[in-house]
Amino acid sequence: MGAWRRNPAQWYEQTMVYCELCGRVIPKNFWVVEEDSRELIFCDPDCEQLYRDYWVQTRRQA
């Protein structure tokens, strides 16, 4: 289960947060999920679902 978090960087800082699946830069709010004792960052819950349904399944088959 994930949770929304806010990027703590100030507007003048050049801290970039990227989605684990699509690579989009996430300016403020991002979706975080813990998996295997690490945090995965996504744009939103839809990107997480696509990650689980497609990306994880594709890697297991390879």
Give the C-alpha separation, 20 to 6, whole Å: 16
Q: What is the pLDDT along the chain (62 residues), one digit of tens a residue?
A: 899 999 988 889 888 899 999 999 998 999 999 998 999 999 999 999 999 999 888 877 76
Q: Model pTM? A: 0.82
Across the strands, what pairs with 25?
Answer: 18
Tell me the three state secondary structure of residue 30: strand
Across the strands, what pairs with 33?
Answer: 40
